[in-house]
């Protein structure tokens, strides 16, 4: 029987140290300054490893004992993790459709979650789910994003995204809505052109969903498996809001591919005009999107989607987006500088999973021709520590007796301040 590795909560604000152990035992965050006009919530992002994908790629799990790879063993372990951490919002990737319908959704609903799911297009029966606690949020809108476009040869992959607009349930004060986005970008390390375009499509939908008539935007939490490593051009684009991709090889975009032999350079522009998304990662011909589901108490004003003003931008090698996004994790162990990892199997141990958020300190996000005022903001209270590759191999890597995916769950605790 393999041992376990303890993951600790890392608190990122001042708190009463005397209460730390008690708070950790109860799995709640310490109190940064106590205020009535705030709303605390937690988010988990977790690639739970589709059973079909596990079996199709069995060579990645030769280090594992066979019994730990069976779904009948894995799912109770995954559900146990979810119960233990008790996050208010779950962003799950590689959620297999048949397991979702028969086991995952019913189990999560019994725990007080409302679940939304979007399966990949095409033949692979897995997708992304966003689940949230009824007690914490009301649902304003559900906005799936299909990255496959049959009319655009570049976009022939079946990855998807899912964007929800949620209303916090605050007893004393009206609060801005919160946008939760979840995605699983293309894996192929050599197709950075597709990855960047998929990301641009997700950002355009987020911009559409979060935009308000006064030009402001609500806070965002963007989770997922981005199949890109820290410091890569794609990662830097998310955090910095801009990317000059002139001369960039498509295999260098995600940072996964070490060799550049035979790789072509990204075309300018990366995607064709008929995609309808500008180099600012917003819809060029903004339309009122269909709201699939709403709570009955949502006002008509909340359901209306205003047009996002888009200036006609010249074709250039510069991408930009109007959000100021920070990463929950620093990606390196503070004392040693050793890289943290979020996934580990027999061929790789790297970070590809992230939770990005719009930080409270930034009241605007700026770029050439783009500025978004932020209504409310998110303060990162705490994060569940990640592990190093060396840590994980002390318990025989992933999956193992206690961790039933080849990815680790990421967890963050936020405060929404008005």
pLDDT digits (tens, 9 = 90+) for 368-400: 444 567 887 899 999 999 999 999 999 999 999
CB 354 within 8 A of CB 155: no
CATH of 38-283+317-361+373-417, one of 3.10.20.30, 3.60.10.10, 3.40.50.300, 3.30.930.10: 3.60.10.10
Q: Work out the percent of the chain whose per-residue pLDDT is above 90.
A: 75
Those residues whose C-beta lies under 8 Å from the C-beta of residue 171, and which sit 6 or more positions away, are none
* pLDDT at residue 200 greater than cutoff 70: yes
In DSSP terms, which residues pair with 357 in a beta bridge? Answer: 221, 326
pLDDT digits (tens, 9 = 90+) for 131-152: 999 999 999 999 999 999 999 9
CA distance linking residue 81 with residue 402, whole number of Å? 9
State the first-to-last Cα distance of the chain, in angstroms, to the nearest integer: 49
Dihedral angle at the C-alpha atoms of 328, 44, 114, 41, nearest 10 degrees? Answer: -50
Q: Which helix (H) or strand (E) holds 261?
A: none
pLDDT digits (tens, 9 = 90+) for 15-29: 434 344 444 544 444
* pLDDT at residue 362 greater than cutoff 70: no
The verdict on pTM exceeding 0.75 is yes
Indicate the range of 83-87, 144-148, 170-174, 276-280 predicted with least confidence: 170-174
* pLDDT at residue 123 greater than cutoff 50: yes
Indicate the range of 103-117, 172-186, 250-264, 291-305 predicted with least confidence: 291-305
* pLDDT at residue 161 greater than cutoff 50: yes
pLDDT of the residue at 299:
38
CB atoms within 10 A of CB 1: 6
pLDDT of the residue at 314:
56
pLDDT digits (tens, 9 = 90+) for 227-272: 999 999 999 999 999 999 999 999 999 999 877 666 899 999 999 9
């Amino acid at each position: 029987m393999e041992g376990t590795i303890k993951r600790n909560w890392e608190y990122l604000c001042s708190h009463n140290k005397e209460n730390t152990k008690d708070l950790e035992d109860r799995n709640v965050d310490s109190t940064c300054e106590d205020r009535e006009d705030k709303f605390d919530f937690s988010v988990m992002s977790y690639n739970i490893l589709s059973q079909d994908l596990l079996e199709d790629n069995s060579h990645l799990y030769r280090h594992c004992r066979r019994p730990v790879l069976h779904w009948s063993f894995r799912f109770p372990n995954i559900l146990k993790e979810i119960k233990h951490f008790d996050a208010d919002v779950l962003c799950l990737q590689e959620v297999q459709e048949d397991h979702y319908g028969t086991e995952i959704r019913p189990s999560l609903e019994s725990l007080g979650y409302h679940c939304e799911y979007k399966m990949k297009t095409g033949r692979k029966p897995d997708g992304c789910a966003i689940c949230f606690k009824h007690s914490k949020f009301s649902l304003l809108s559900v906005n799936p994003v299909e990255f496959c476009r049959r009319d655009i040869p570049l976009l022939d992959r079946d990855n998807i995204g899912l964007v929800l607009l949620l209303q916090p349930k605050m007893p004393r004060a009206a609060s801005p809505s919160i946008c939760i986005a979840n995605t699983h970008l293309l894996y192929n390390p050599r197709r950075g052109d597709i990855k960047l375009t998929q990301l641009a499509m997700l950002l355009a939908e987020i911009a559409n969903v979060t935009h308000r008539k006064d030009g402001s935007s609500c806070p965002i939490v963007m989770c997922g498996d981005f199949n890109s490593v820290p410091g890569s051009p794609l990662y830097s684009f998310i955090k910095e809001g801009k990317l000059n991709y002139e001369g960039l090889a498509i295999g260098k975009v995600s940072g996964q591919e070490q060799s550049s032999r035979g790789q072509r350079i990204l075309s300018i522009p990366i995607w064709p005009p008929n995609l309808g998304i500008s180099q600012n990662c917003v819809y060029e011909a903004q339309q009122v999107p269909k709201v699939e589901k709403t709570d009955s108490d949502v006002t008509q004003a909340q359901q209306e989607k205003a047009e996002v003003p888009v200036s006609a931008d010249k074709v250039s090698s510069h991408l930009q987006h109007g959000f100021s996004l920070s990463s929950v994790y620093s990606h390196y162990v503070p004392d040693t500088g050793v890289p943290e990892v979020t996934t580990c199997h027999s061929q790789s141990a790297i970070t590809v999973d992230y939770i990005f958020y719009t930080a409270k300190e930034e009241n605007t996000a700026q770029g050439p021709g783009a500025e978004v005022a932020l209504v409310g903001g998110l303060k990162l209270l705490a994060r569940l520590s990640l592990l190093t590759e060396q840590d994980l191999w002390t318990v025989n890597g992933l999956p193992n007796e206690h961790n039933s995916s080849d990815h680790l769950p990421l967890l963050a605790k936020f405060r929404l301040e008005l």
